[in-house]
Amino acid sequence: MAGRLKYGYSFVIRARRHQRARTAQVNHRRQGWRNHNEISLCIRSFMVKSNAKVLKLNIS
């Protein structure tokens, strides 16, 4: 579980960093709290999706 959580977190961070690469540093500083909330939401949805896949594999 911990390994999967770490992988999901780094996966989301990598995607978010690539997506936000073109934004200005001023915007990054101003919207830091909002980006943090978006990242945690992405992690939660990603974890739910991956957990659903694992549960389906375990059931079948």
Domain ranges in the chain are 2-59
> If pLDDT is split at 50, 70 and 90, which confidence band does 30 have?
low
CA angle 10, 14, 45 (to 5 degrees): 65
CA distance 52 to 58: 10
Per residue in 40-59, pLDDT (tens digit) is 777 777 777 777 777 677 66
pLDDT higher at 56 or 28: 56
Contact (CB, 8 A) for 12 and 39: yes
What confidence score (pLDDT) does residue 32 get?
60
Which among 3-17, 25-39, 45-59 has the top mean pLDDT?
45-59
